[in-house]
Amino acid sequence: MNNQNQNFLDTERWQGRAFFADWQTTAAGVMDVTDPATGAVIVSVGVGGAADIARAATEARAAQKIWAKTLPTERARILSKAADLLEQNGTELIPWIMRESGSIYPKASIEIEHGALFIRHAASLATAPMGMMIPSMDGRANYAKRVPHGIVGVISPFNFPLVLSIRSIAAALAFGNAVVHKPDPRTPISGGIIIARIFEEAGLPKGVLQVVPGGADAGEAMCTDANIAMISFTGSARAGSKVAEIAGKHFKKIQLELGGKNSLIVLDDADLDIAASNSAWGAFLHQGQICMATGLILADEKIAEALTAKLVMKASHLPAGDPSTNQVALGPIISDSQVASIQAIVEDAVAKGAKLLIGGNP
């Protein structure tokens, strides 16, 4: 495959399906994927329920035993080829990320670039030493060896769907695990189909990676399935606490990356133009839908008013709309429910005495 091919994703291969040992229909049926900027249906994909997760985990367990015995150099080769394919087909894949997730072009480009970097890093880890000598008190030699968990369940969010899926998937594969992956149902292409395609084309053995988009019921099934030994979750604190509760009851290893409230501190000797620019970048990148977004600005009272004026001016020059036009700085919020949630926060803040200086209505 090369960068001249503009049908790498090949919708006929996967439309209405999920990725098990091959592209197949799901017991739970199909769902439409919509463009949040226009509301238009982009395509349909297979949606997974509990039965589909059980099927995926069973198939992954059967495939994992052989994959774990595969030479580390071969695992690294397949991962490296997947990274090459992601980069080579970036021109075709970037518009899919833009349409599905509401990303502007630079942000979607970063997903391709950083996604490939995560895969290459994982490839390098595949051939790293897997054992260590442990100090002994009685002169005997103690040796520890790292072994695969078996099946790793990956649950990823909508905001950086490619990057936040691939970083967990690639590392798990590098160390000989199989993966059952549930991308967010709002971004199943960016967070799942693209990843399945690059590994399929790179020669990953069938069944080692299973990609089944789904909702909370599919996620809960992953947390309870006896074949899945570990859950890697990225998303909200509320959903993460539920994952920890359910998976913990089943004695699974759990890795959580949750949301945060990130502060930016501006002192009285700061360059206010730079401070306003950094504040706007931190707060508004991808419409603020990022766990690392600036959620609170703490400014010295001497410069707070001037900084506020500059930030309002910055905000007034950020056009919002359809990213596919390449004429906007901000794309859409991912869903109507998220818009309503943000609107409620604004109205609550104003009711409590906040001043609305610009915007305030979707």
Are the beta carbons of 107 and 285 closer than 8 angstroms? Answer: yes
User: Is 223 one of the annotated active-site residues of the chain?
Assistant: no
**Spatial distance between the Cα atoms of 125 and 344, rounded to a whole number of angstroms:** 45
**Terminal CA-to-CA distance of the chain, rounded, Å?**
43
Residue among 291, 301, 305, 347 flagged as catalytic: 291
Q: Decide if 291 is catalytic.
A: yes
| Chain CA centroid to CA 120, Å | 17
- Dihedral-angle region of residue 251 (phi above 0 means left; psi in -120 to 50 means alpha; beta otherwise): left
128-137 long-range contacts (CB < 8 A, ≥24 apart) are 130/175
Radius of gyration (Cα) for the chain, nearest Å?
22
User: What single DSSP character describes residue 234?
Assistant: E
> 155 and 231 in contact (C-beta within 8 Å)?
yes
Q: Which of 92, 201, 220, 257 is catalytic?
A: 257
- Angle between helices 272-284 and 304-316 in degrees, nearest 10: 50
Q: How far is CA 101 from the centre of its chain?
A: 11
Q: Annotated active-site positions, please?
A: 257, 291
